[in-house]
């Protein structure tokens, strides 16, 4: 279900057709620590297969987040960002509120995310360090987007 939320001259929408893939890809590939060098085709495929949220200032996209989910039991929050010029206005908190309140993400048994630097933000929405990290396993390809 598509949703829209408004705050001053900002808007959050989960309409995939409004997303500016150029803005998203540039940030993820060039400015993020978690997906440096990610190919555009991978970003496009990730968007197509996720519940996405765009943050807009008038018509310009200034933020993004996506949620990988089965909409029943599990979700993984990924790729959340606000562009530098729009930070410090509470947009990431507002975006998080819209995500955790979204009807497709209610009643989930587990909601995960990975972060190196935004623990304070996510704690405000109930996230905590893993209670039993030994239960989790991963295949991590740390520099998969970096050319040799």
Is residue 61 scored above 80 in pLDDT?
yes
Tokens representing 51 are 């519940």
Is residue 25 scored above 80 in pLDDT?
yes
- pTM to 2 decimal places: 0.90
The top-level CATH class assigned to 4-135 is alpha beta
Is residue 148 scored above 70 in pLDDT?
no
Q: Domain spans of the chain?
A: 4-135
Distance (Å, rounded) from C-alpha 48 to C-alpha 95?
A: 20
């Amino acid at each position: 279900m598509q949703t829209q939320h408004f705050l001053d001259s900002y808007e959050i929408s989960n309409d995939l057709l409004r997303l500016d893939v150029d803005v998203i890809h540039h940030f993820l590939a060039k400015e993020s620590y978690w997906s440096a060098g990610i190919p555009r085709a991978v970003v496009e495929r990730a968007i197509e297969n996720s519940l996405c949220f765009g943050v807009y200032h008038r018509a310009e996209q200034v933020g993004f987040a996506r949620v990988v989910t089965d909409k029943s039991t599990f979700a993984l929050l990924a790729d959340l960002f606000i562009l530098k010029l729009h930070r410090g206005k509470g947009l990431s908190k507002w975006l998080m509120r819209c995500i955790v309140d979204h009807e497709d993400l209610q009643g989930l048994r587990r909601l995960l995310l990975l972060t190196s630097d935004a623990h304070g933000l996510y704690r405000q929405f109930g996230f905590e360090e893993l209670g039993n990290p030994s239960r989790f396993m991963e295949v991590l390809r740390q520099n998969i987007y970096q050319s040799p």
